[in-house]
Amino acid sequence: LEAIRCFYEGIACLSLARDTRQQKYRCAGEKAVKEIAKFEQISEWNFQNKSKLLQAELHYLNDNLQAADDAYNASIMSAREHRWFNEEALGYELYGLFLIENKFVGSGTNHLHIAIEKYRKWGAMKKAMDLQLLVDLVDPSYLRKHKIN
């Protein structure tokens, strides 16, 4: 249970560090990256994708975009191989947001669409609906259809 708390706290703190530039969130996020790496040494099956996703978020925070891109993809692949469907969806979601925030809107929305389908497959219908609302706001085809600049 501690590992799961550490993982989600790390995801939240790294995102907050990126948004606010507050050192306390960076420190908590970096600590989570180290802790999950220790869990990965114990069980690669259970923690490899989590470790890669936290590393991706840390690379993104540090503006190391290529390393972030590689780590997002590695996390998604690991989650798929180890059948962590919910975390595969989370990987696609965070990677999609990363792409959109870095001006790759088309590819980012494609990844968010995949995340939505993965969340639905997992049974997280509310999460899928909430993410669809976000996609509708950033999807270029939706913006053109509704004449939004």
How far apart CA 140 and CA 30 sit, in angstroms, is: 35
Tell me what the mean pLDDT of segment 20-30 comes to.
97
Question: In terms of Cα–Cα distance, which of 41, 46, 45, 42 is closest to 7?
Answer: 46
Q: Mean pLDDT across the stretch 53-59?
A: 98
Residue with the larger pLDDT of the pair 58 and 142 = 58
DSSP assignment letter at 148: -
**Cβ 76 vs Cβ 88: under 8 Å:** yes
CA distance 15 to 36: 17
pLDDT beyond 90 at 140:
no
Q: What number of other Cβ atoms are within 10 A of residue 3's Cβ?
A: 18
The secondary structure of residue 83, as a DSSP letter, is T
